[in-house]
Amino acid sequence: MPPTVSINLCCYNSEKYIYETIESIVNQTYDDWELVVINDGSTDSTENILKEFINRGYPIKYHYQDNKGLGYSRKEALKYSNGDFIAFIDHDDIWLPDKLKKQIPLFDDPYVGLVFSDVIFFNDQGVNERYYKRKKYWTGMCFRQLLTNYFISLVSTVVRHSAIKEEPYSFDTRFKMIEEADLFRRIAYKWKLAMINEPLAKWRIHSDSVSWKNGNYLVAHETKIMLEIYDKIIPDFSVRFKKEINILKSNLNFSLAYYYLNNGENRKSRKILTSFQFFKIKTIILFFCTFFPSDKILFFINLINKRITPSIFRKRKRYMLSCLLPLILISKKVISLFCGKQNCVSVLMYHNIPLDQMALFEEQIKYLKSIYNFITPEQFEKYMKGEFEISGINLLITFDDGFRSQFYASKNVLDKFNIKGIFFVINNFINMPKKYLFNYLKEHIYINEESHFLFRIAQPMKIDDLQELLKNGHKIGSHTFSHVSLSNEENITNLNNEIIGSKEFLMKKLGIQIDHFAFPFGRIYDLSQKSIEISKNNYKFIFTGIRGTNNRTNDLLYREEVSVDYPLKYLHYIIEGGLSVYYLYNKRRLKKLTSVHP
């Protein structure tokens, strides 16, 4: 009996990502499927990885061919597919576990030919965004909308096999960029589309690839060919869809103008833009951009063309702010001439450090150590008590939550530079069994995080790890029992358990005194007068997540949240107080919260 779903996977030299891709398939909660793999002439270890899964007994059909391109490979995969429905995934993308389970029931409507979902698109540089936060979509009979604004991601789709079979051809091998967009538009002309409005897959973007860099040009060229074909196979196409064709051509011309400007061909870009009959605001802005060197205004060009996602925007903002570093350093030198040198401690706060980014962490520590003096937790305690003197800005490093990657960071990086830190751990997270890990991370730590991959790599420390950290001269601090926002907890018994119980748990397990406490999340709206009162009565040093430097007058301590993907100059900018002005309001609110407890 043939399977319900045939999953089509085409690959070429895919050893870097294909293991994770296939794992996401075999971990589906829907199990009536077959995987059809076309190896398009790979010369790396792709075949060995595929055979590993085949040898485990998974229902995989494997076919090797000489390199013939993606369009041809997709057509070949369809030939070997026997399922009633066809699902697609590329060799570097990922499915979430319930993808097929949630999509297949929508085909109970016999008029639905294609089901898609929201996706998370991501890359290795930190982009991690929901697709339909930035893109409109339609369902039902929506060929017109799909013609003007293609909004379907291949990795999210499942297609009725009969809808493909009734087309005169499936994938057009002439296309490199729009082979699936062409097919799905033709299906949308005859069939209804349905959608699951939640991310069920992850779409990996390679912004350094040739196809990405030349994408606008290739899409424009291939779409013109597609329109010529539709004019032949769809009755009265150019008359019935005249408005949509004009909108599509206008969008293609804008993409071409952007492509030329992005490649320094400003005159070609300007020539295309002057042919527009109606100017939108973004067209006018792009037109004026053609009079300036494109490399100077590339950020704004990308912003106009929606190539800047929120996460990329944050990265570019960090870069731009770091350009202000010389101004801050000069102003601080001038101030020190009149007011003396500022002596304080800047406390750095790290969270999970992915193992593949450990080299970035080491680079940051090496850079900071060349500029600042790192003090130990003991020296920090003595400084706050008035028993130890410092000069200038000194750094204390802390880690929150108790990720095992932090243990590796201490062994591979901190010990190398003889730096000691404080590790704030969540009691419930330590030694947590793997079967509970995903839900705990989602509900308590990465509450708004949508990256399934991040959940998978975030493993907890064990008690043995904490004991080894203590032997190596580090300190352990409490981060509550279960990592909840203490401002939302009104029950005194629960508050005591989170704040005091977590201390007693660590003291019992580790046989040491616990003097350091860090508020979960650490934002001003996660603090309450009662939680502050309880923590002050039970700990000597209490840390928040509010930015700023610390001296002996601090009642509650400020910390600078940092990440391994921060540029080095931006890190320097933060430590020199570049972001402190944004937290003045939070500091005033914190002062009010603590003023009732002398």
pLDDT per residue as tens digits for the range 375-406: 999 999 999 999 999 999 999 999 999 999 99
**Per-residue model confidence (pLDDT) at position 597:** 44
Q: Assess contact for 10 and 81: CB atoms under 8 A.
A: no
Give the global pTM: 0.55
Residue 596 in this model has a pLDDT that exceeds 60: no
Select from 426, 371, 369, 374 the least CA-distant residue to 403. Answer: 426
The 10s digit of each residue's pLDDT in 283-304 is 777 787 788 776 555 555 555 4
User: Average of pLDDT values for 12-19?
Assistant: 92
- Return the higher-pLDDT residue of 263 and 136: 263
User: What is the H or E stretch that residue 163 is in?
Assistant: helix 161-165
Q: Assess contact for 364 and 564: CB atoms under 8 A.
A: yes
Select from 320, 73, 22 the least CA-distant residue to 312. Answer: 320
Mean pLDDT for all residues in the chain: 86
**Per-residue model confidence (pLDDT) at position 314:** 55
Tokens coding 205: 């973007």
> What is the topology classification, in CATH, of domain 5-206?
Spore Coat Polysaccharide Biosynthesis Protein SpsA; Chain A (3.90.550)
What is the rounded distance in angstroms from the CA atom of residue 524 to the CA atom of residue 592?
11
Q: Assess contact for 315 and 523: CB atoms under 8 A.
A: no
Using the Cα atoms of residue 565, residue 570, residue 575 and residue 577 in order, give the sign of their dihedral. Answer: negative
CB atoms within 10 A of CB 394: 20
> 523 pLDDT band (50/70/90 cuts)?
confident
> 210 pLDDT band (50/70/90 cuts)?
very low
DSSP H helices, 265-423, are: 266-273, 281-289, 298-304, 310-322, 325-339, 358-369, 377-385, 404-409
38, β-bridge pairs = 10, 63
**Per-residue model confidence (pLDDT) at position 451:** 44
What is the rounded distance in angstroms from the CA atom of residue 305 to the CA atom of residue 287?
13
Query: Do 5-206 and 340-572 have matching folds?
Result: no
Tokens coding 271: 């020539």
What is the rounded distance in angstroms from the CA atom of residue 100 to the CA atom of residue 27?
11
Tokens coding 216: 């606008």
Q: Judging by beta carbons within 10 Å of its beta carbon (0-12, 13-18, 19+), is residue 483 exposed, middle or buried?
A: buried
**Per-residue model confidence (pLDDT) at position 18:** 94
What is the rounded distance in angstroms from the CA atom of residue 495 to the CA atom of residue 480?
9
**Per-residue model confidence (pLDDT) at position 83:** 95
The 10s digit of each residue's pLDDT in 359-378 is 999 999 999 999 999 999 99
Non-local (6+) Cβ contacts of 415 within 8 A are 472
What is the rounded distance in angstroms from the CA atom of residue 575 to the CA atom of residue 184?
51
DSSP H helices, 397-539, are: 404-409, 434-440, 452-457, 463-471, 492-496, 502-510, 529-538
Q: Assess contact for 345 and 380: CB atoms under 8 A.
A: yes
SS3 524: helix
- Return the higher-pLDDT residue of 209 and 333: 333
The 10s digit of each residue's pLDDT in 149-184 is 888 999 999 999 999 999 988 998 888 889 999 999
Q: Judging by beta carbons within 10 Å of its beta carbon (0-12, 13-18, 19+), is residue 444 exposed, middle or buried?
A: middle
Select from 107, 95, 131, 105 the least CA-distant residue to 193. Answer: 107
Q: What is the DSSP letter of 44?
A: S
Using the Cα atoms of residue 228, residue 229, residue 230 and residue 235 in order, give the sign of their dihedral. Answer: positive
What is the rounded distance in angstroms from the CA atom of residue 142 to the CA atom of residue 137?
9
**Per-residue model confidence (pLDDT) at position 501:** 94
Q: What are the structural domain ranges in the chain? A: 5-206, 232-308, 340-572
SS3 206: coil
**Per-residue model confidence (pLDDT) at position 306:** 47
> 247 pLDDT band (50/70/90 cuts)?
confident
The 10s digit of each residue's pLDDT in 444-498 is 777 555 444 444 457 899 999 999 999 999 999 999 999 988 987 888 999 999 9
Q: Assess contact for 6 and 82: CB atoms under 8 A.
A: yes
Of 120-124, 335-339, 568-572, give the range with the top mean pLDDT. Answer: 568-572
Q: What is the DSSP letter of 263?
A: T
Non-local (6+) Cβ contacts of 166 within 8 A are 190
The 10s digit of each residue's pLDDT in 536-581 is 999 999 999 999 999 998 889 999 999 998 888 889 989 988 887 7
**Per-residue model confidence (pLDDT) at position 244:** 92
194, β-bridge pairs = 115
> 96 pLDDT band (50/70/90 cuts)?
very high
Beta strand pairing call for 373-374 and 158-160: unpaired
373, β-bridge pairs = 394
CB atoms within 10 A of CB 171: 21
Select from 225, 217, 228, 281 the least CA-distant residue to 253. Answer: 217
Tokens coding 506: 């660590």
**Per-residue model confidence (pLDDT) at position 467:** 96
Q: Assess contact for 89 and 95: CB atoms under 8 A.
A: yes
- Return the higher-pLDDT residue of 137 and 572: 572
Non-local (6+) Cβ contacts of 47 within 8 A are 39, 64
- Contacts of residues 62-68 at CB distance under 8 Å and 24 or more positions apart, as own/partner, are 62/37, 63/36, 63/37, 63/38, 63/39, 64/39, 65/38, 65/39, 65/40, 65/41, 66/41, 67/12, 67/40, 67/41, 68/40, 68/41
Q: Assess contact for 391 and 596: CB atoms under 8 A.
A: no
Q: Which of 70-79, 245-254, 414-423, 496-505 has the lowest mean pLDDT?
A: 245-254
What is the rounded distance in angstroms from the CA atom of residue 560 to the CA atom of residue 550?
11
What is the rounded distance in angstroms from the CA atom of residue 396 to the CA atom of residue 381?
11
**Per-residue model confidence (pLDDT) at position 560:** 94
Beta strand pairing call for 373-374 and 128-130: unpaired
**Per-residue model confidence (pLDDT) at position 307:** 46
**Per-residue model confidence (pLDDT) at position 270:** 87
What is the rounded distance in angstroms from the CA atom of residue 180 to the CA atom of residue 171?
7
Q: What's 340-572's CATH class?
A: alpha beta
> 339 pLDDT band (50/70/90 cuts)?
low
128, β-bridge pairs = 122
**Per-residue model confidence (pLDDT) at position 534:** 95
Residue 110 in this model has a pLDDT that exceeds 80: yes
User: Average of pLDDT values for 62-74?
Assistant: 92
Residue 331 in this model has a pLDDT that exceeds 80: no
Q: Judging by beta carbons within 10 Å of its beta carbon (0-12, 13-18, 19+), is residue 167 exposed, middle or buried?
A: middle
